Structure 1
């Protein structure tokens, strides 16, 4: 919200010498966030000039420039006309225009621009004739500002527009504007009235509510007012869509009459573009008071006006020339034929738009339900200035005052006449009283607030306070719909008393607390992978059907066990991910596209894994704790979200350098990482061959616990997946269920006594069919090796003529050890033979000669 200081001074006693910095600091003290300061960016000689002559000169590049002689009075020190080249064509000889002379400085997004005399198009251009954008007054850059037209009807300002006069003051470029960020709970600050009230709270300056005098002048509703009907057969959460509707009629309005210069200047300073008198008046009232208005062409209305919900299949062409299909939750304004003419509180329709032939205007000032307007604005993607205010809560008592101000301005500047009839339907519910213990703010904030200070602050912000012993009954003002609980009142006491008065005290952590087992496991996993050269990343958890198809997954099956997002950030990614690899591949692709050749990434994150149909959670109002059964239903509707671990490696695992050539990452590297994780967590992991997408069928392994519980898969990405996603060839990786791994990790430290007797090793080379996994042979050796077998390590694989086609030799080193004695050669041989026999029985392994 941009607030011009001269406008702010009309509502609150801002000291004459206060700058934008001073005002912004005061507003920050009561919790508003400063976004920026505007104005004062033009320095140096910016003067009024009169165009004496204008010669059009076509150029070789197809453009036509104007070589102008401009009278700038004595501002150039000579009194002679100033020669200026200008490319705009919206002015003629005799027009008054703003001219910045050499030595002046213009604000630009890139920084200050110093203006100097320079040769261009065969002339020396000694200055510039300025547009709105060049002066920071708006976005219009199609033509320069013609002061004669800009201030038409403003005789006082036009009298000041003489050649050589200071245009900075005339155009208001010396005025400052403070921009603040309005949080969702402070909707009343979406107006100069609301910000002025906050400035008064911060500084103690006298605040004059402009709505009070307007409300006193506004007539009450009459029986002969414009006919209006209110109905709502589908209220959202039991709240009617419109609980107050005020209309006023102004006849004989000259819509072509220019808006007064002071009004358009304030709109521009507040960040809005002047359009026409009727539109400018409604925008001015909205910015000043915070009440959105709408102006209808009365003669294009068919009879009465009604408020109702949309019917399925209805459409409306809105002011942005878009035909919109309406939803049964949309609140509509309809005419006497029951035809939609507006999406209430969001945007008007074309059929009743104010046009060049309009003479009679119907002013609408209504109060619409915040939830209804917010849903319609998001549903139709129409975040208008009106909807921003309605969805944050508009003062329920403001409509008559806002309508009165609009009528006054249309009558004064448009020459209209106001009808005596006034419509004022509906009775908004009064704010619910809040009960709060007098000492509650002190207990919550942690500092002592005197009783009179608490009641004084609550009355200062507009509440009505009744005390009954140590209990306060507080009725919030109509402009503060955000005050619904005692905690909200505590926040008001704290911010008005001063956040800076709350001491910073370092809390003392309770004894005995620490990381949970799951947190410790995640830290061990992260530290180990980082130490192995992998970088941890976060990828957004959204995927689309195209990504699932590119990974070779069953799209229907994957989307059936996940959640479709109702309002996705991207329509191309509407689903929650079912695996980390589905999103981690994008991180690899992006790094490679930026020139990284060797990439090793990992991520610990949540995935969605529905076991059945998705349950629908009930919708409840914010600010109040739902009942226990409602909470239970909401929790039951939350889909399971196990935590997974994913890794992807592309390019070289061992970098090349003076020490030798590099080595590309392969499946063995990922298996090694998984084995290291198992050792770090003291979990026995079993790796066996498998074939699932998105992994290469010949280079894929299943990872499981010793009891067979599946953890996930590792391997090399399928060549089709690599090609579809644009990844480096032979990218490898894996994904494990980190929750299962965490549960398997023992909470206790397992220590073993060091063996004091020597180990005995024996190597065996076993020939098996090529299809037999090495892990299966190892498992058979372990089963037959007995209790004294300490370890089995595969150290060589051979395929060739010596073992025959379709066969391979697997060489294992068996280590035996007794903790009670030294093993003899005969014992070791017997144990080795038992292990070999078990491998032979299980897989037909024969010992290689």
Structure 2
């Protein structure tokens, strides 16, 4: 919301010395997010005056149209003689009043005006456009043509209100009332302790039976509808300068008088309005839900197919507007430029629509408008009649219209909202003794009616739909008393309330992966369901079963993720596209797996700790949310340099990342070959652990399938891994054990075993460990060989076995015996033979 300080002063008598920066500080202290204060007219100095074009001579000897003009600027130039000016614009004529920058003026951007010879003539000044003066978009993109009543030679900076300060406020969803000058003025008045001149306090005639007929078929979607009619509008009437300038400063483009007035009142009171050409309405105005598939052409010229949940405004022909979002082209107000069909009779709509309905319609049609932005945040329903009256008054004043006596107002039964709250509740929330008088005073300042002593009954004002509970009222008291006045108190948690083992494991995994060279990439937990096709998942794959959000942030990603890979692969693709080709990313987080869990999650209390039964009830209604850890790799894993050649990342790096994660959980993985989307069928490993004596699958890793790489636009040979951290934790039978340290020397024995090609190295390693016994300290695969010296269909695996005793130095015979035992068991389990034997 852009708030011109000059406009704000109409409702609050701010001290003359207060600047925009001062007001910004006050509003920020009151809880509003005032992002910037724009200084309009910065760098602009005169003389800038009103001039009248006397003559225009077309200079045709140049490649582009050039006009040599004489302009009467009165005594502003010191001589009273006409000013000679060269101008290339063509949207003005002889006799028009224009804005003239005389020599010596400086326009925004340090553009200095001086006499100069150009196109064979001497130009003594410049005829200005709105853009050149920093006025914003006025829709004309040409020279400013002023109304004829303005006197020649007067200061144009005052006339055009070029000097001003504009506060740019980022209005949060709970403060929709601040999307109006009325709402910001109320906050300003409270902050300064000054009275407010409420622009909504107008004399409004009582409803009667003579107004334009309105029929509401959905009183829940539209609980209030006010209609007023103004006739006899002057088709040649234009928006006055003050109105156009206020709209421009607020960030809106002037269009035509009737439309400008409705926009002005919306900015002033926060109530969106719509004006219909009465001659183009067929029958009564209706409000109903659309029929599925109905169509309407909106004011932006787009034909939109309506949904059955959309609320629409209708006449006898069908929809003439999408309620609360945008009107239809069939009843559009005709501009004054087309006098033959110009609008002279208007019906003004000031209605209140259900916020959720408007928000969903605007998102469904991807049509966010100034009206929908206000309705979905909550509009004061009791301001509708005042807004309609204000619009009528302005149309009568500025367009010469006549207000008809008929007033239509349809109201759904409603009662004021009340909230009961102990008088000391804000004190308990803030830890500050405010006292009852302060609490009551602050609540009354925001518009509440307060009754009672120790137990307050608070009637909430109609413009604050966000005040529903005692904590909401406490927040109002605290923010108006000043967040900066709250004492800073460090919490003192009781002993024994540190991180859980689950949390510690989660942190250890993140640190270990970061230490291994991976960079954490946090992604939103939302996915598009078409990503499952890109990952080549089977139709019955459990990962295709998703939890869909009723109100997603993006319609393109309406589901919660069932795997971490889509987000990580998307991050890898973006970074690769931006020039970072050697990538190793990881993420730890939740995935969401829907099950057959009936029920709806209940709302837990906030005034006490929920009971175990309440927490269990919530968990029972939610989808399963296992924790996962995943990594993705592409490009070089080891960089080349003076030290030697580099190495590209491959499937083995992804498997090693899984081992790293499992080690932090105190678990050893059982690794075997597998075929599982989205991995390459020949370069995919399955990870298992033993849980309660049973072998359980915990994840997969390896190189992605080339088809998946192509579908997702990833670098060639991209690798990935994903593990279930919760299952790893279940496999951990106890706390992590410290490694055994011996001061005696190690005995190393190397063995090369020939096994069938399909035998996993992990199976051979497990057999070696079991056969070697307690003396084995470590076993490491350091070479895999296939070639002429190995039979076809076989491979040679070379292992380094390290033996060590805790209490003595091993003899060669002991180490050899342990090695032979290991080889013997490997031969028994896998059919391995010693190479060269």
Q: TM (normalized to structure 1)?
A: 0.88
CA contact (8 A) 2:92 2:145 kept: no
Q: Which residue of 719, 742, 751 corresponds with 1:764?
A: 751
Alpha carbons 1:256, 1:276 under 8 Å: kept: no
Give, in whole Å, the separation in 2 of the partners of 1:55 and 1:618: 78
- SS for the counterpart of 2:283 is coil
Shift of 1:222: 1.8
In structure 2, the gaps of 5 or more residues are 335-340
Q: Residue in 2 aligned with 1:319?
A: 299
**Equivalent residue for 1:220?**
206
Q: How far, CA to CA, are the matches of 1:296 and 1:123 in structure 2? A: 51
- Aligned pairs for 1:555-704 (under 5 A) are 557=541, 560-565=544-549, 573-611=557-595, 636=620, 638-704=622-688
Q: CA deviation at 1:20?
A: 2.4
TM-superposed CA distance for 1:116, in Å, is: 5.8
Between stretches 737-746 and 614-623, larger displacement belongs to 614-623
Change (3 A) 1:223 1:709: same
RMSD: 3.4
Tell whether the 8 Å contact from 2:296 to 2:306 is kept in structure 1 after alignment: yes
Partner of residue 358, structure 1: 343
Stretches of structure 1 that go unaligned for 5 or more consecutive residues are none
- The residue matched to 2:229 in structure 1 has which SS? strand
1:574 Cα shift? 4.7
CA–CA distance in structure 1, aligned partners of residues 605 and 244 of structure 2: 39
- The counterpart of 2:469, out of the listed 485, 491, 494, is 485
2:657–2:721 Cα contact (<8 Å) kept:
no
Answer yes or no: is the 8 Å Cα contact 1:681–1:746 preserved in 2: no
The equivalent position to 1:348 in structure 2, one of 313, 323, 327, is 327
Structure 1 residues 434, 703: CA separation in 2 closer, same or farther (over 3 Å shift)?
same
Report Cα offsets for 1:79-128 as digits up to 9, x if no partner: 66555443322112332222334554444xxx655556677767676554
1:489-523 per-residue CA deviation (whole Å, 9 max, x = no partner) reads 21222223333332333333443332222222222
CA contact (8 A) 2:227 2:347 kept: yes
Match of 2:827 among 803, 823, 840: 840
Secondary structure, aligned partner of 1:220: coil
Could you say which residue in structure 1 is the equivalent of 2:156?
A: 167
> CA, structure 1 residues 207+536, in 2 after alignment: closer, same or farther (shift >3 Å)?
same
Alpha-carbon distance in 1 for matches of 2:59, 2:725: 74
2:405 is paired with a residue whose SS is coil
Question: Alignment partner for residue 193 of structure 1, among 164, 168, 182?
Answer: 182
The answer to whether the 8 A contact 1:257-1:414 is kept is yes
Q: Distance in 1 between matches of 2:645 and 2:184?
A: 68
1:543 is displaced (CA, Å) by 4.0
Match of 2:451 among 462, 466, 487: 466
In structure 2, relative to structure 1, the CA distance for the partners of 1:460 and 1:798 (3 Å cut) is: closer
Instruction: Give the structure 1 partner of residue 194 of structure 2.
Output: 205
Quick one: which of 730, 750, 763 aligns to 1:776? 763
CA contact (8 A) 1:792 1:814 kept: yes
Deviation at 1:169, TM superposition (A): 0.8
Aligned in 2, Cα 1:700/1:502: closer, same or farther, shift over 3 Å? same
Contact 1:42 1:135 in 2 (8 A): no
Q: Bigger CA drift: 80-89 or 767-776?
A: 80-89
- Does the C-alpha gap of structure 1 residues 665 and 146 become closer, same or farther in structure 2, counting only changes over 3 Å? closer
1:630–1:354 Cα change, 3 Å: farther
Q: Does the Cα contact within 8 Å between 1:306 and 1:338 map onto a contact in 2?
A: no
Structure 1 residues 389, 813: CA separation in 2 closer, same or farther (over 3 Å shift)?
closer
Whether the aligned pair in 2 keeps the contact of 1:295 and 1:361 (CA below 8 Å) is yes
Give the C-alpha shift of residue 420 in structure 1.
2.1
CA contact (8 A) 2:86 2:123 kept: yes
The one of 387, 402, 423 aligned to 2:372 = 387
Residue 90 of structure 1 aligns with which residue?
A: 91
In 2, the alpha carbon distance for the partners of 1:633 and 1:825 equals 64
SS at match of 1:134: coil
Q: Give the conservation status (yes or no) of the 8 Å contact 2:282–2:317.
A: no
Q: Which moved more, 1:81-90 or 1:482-491?
A: 81-90
Whether 1:736 and 2:720 are equivalent positions in the alignment is: no
Partner of 1:135: 133
* Mean Cα deviation higher: 791-800 or 118-127: 118-127
Pick closer, same or farther for the CA change 1:716–1:470 going to 2, 3 Å.
same
Secondary structure at 1:709's aligned position in 2?
A: strand
Residue in 2 that maps onto 1:266: 246
Question: In the alignment, is the contact (CA less than 8 A) between 1:373 and 1:387 conserved in 2?
Answer: yes
Give the Cα separation in 2 of the matches to 1:345 and 1:579. 39
Partner-residue secondary structure (3-state), 1:411 = helix
User: Which residue of 1 is the match for residue 4 of structure 2?
Assistant: 4
Shift in alpha-carbon separation, 1:367–1:773, aligned structure 2, 3 A: closer
Structure 1 CA distance, aligned partners of 2:529 and 2:176? Answer: 40
With over 3 angstroms needed to count, the CA separation of the structure-2 counterparts of 1:722 and 1:328, relative to structure 1, is: closer
Match of 1:20 in 2: 20
Say whether residues 1:176 and 2:165 are aligned partners. yes
Contact 2:225/2:409 (<8 A) preserved? yes
Match of 1:304 in 2: 284
Cα distance in 2 for partners of 1:123, 1:529 equals: 74
Structure 1 Cα separation of the partners of residues 504 and 666 of structure 2: 13
CA distance in 2, matches of 1:437, 1:836: 79
Out of 572-581 and 326-335, give the one that drifted further.
572-581
2:164 is paired with a residue whose SS is coil
Residue 538 of structure 1 aligns with which residue?
522
The alpha-carbon distance between structure 1 residues 306 and 836, as it changes in their structure 2 partners (threshold 3 A), is same
- TM-score of the aligned structures, taking structure 2 as reference length: 0.89
CA drift of 1:168 comes to: 0.8
Q: Which of 145, 148, 153 pairs up with 1:147?
A: 145
How many residue pairs get aligned? The number is 823
8 A Cα contact 1:701 1:715, kept in partner: yes
Give the match for residue 700 of structure 2: 713
- Decide which of 330, 341, 354 is 1:369's aligned counterpart: 354
Secondary structure (helix, strand or coil) at the match of 2:461 reads: coil
The partner residue of 1:523 within 488, 507, 511 is 507
Q: Matched residues in 1 for 2:414 and 2:628: separation?
A: 50
Partner of 1:806: 793
* Gap change, CA 1:747 and 1:203, over 3 Å in 2: farther
Following the alignment from structure 1 to structure 2, what is the Cα–Cα distance between the partners of residues 516 and 631? Answer: 18
| Partner in structure 1 of residue 337 of structure 2 | none
Say which of 420, 423, 437 aligns to 1:452: 437
2:401 maps to 1:416? yes
Q: Which SS does the other structure have where 1:275 is aligned?
A: coil
Instruction: Check conservation: 2:532, 2:544, Cα contact below 8 A.
Output: no
Partner SS, residue 519 of structure 1 = helix
1:201 Cα shift? 0.9
CA distance in 2: counterparts of 1:426 and 1:41, whole angstroms: 48
Task: Say whether the 8 Å CA contact 2:11–2:196 is kept in structure 1.
Answer: yes
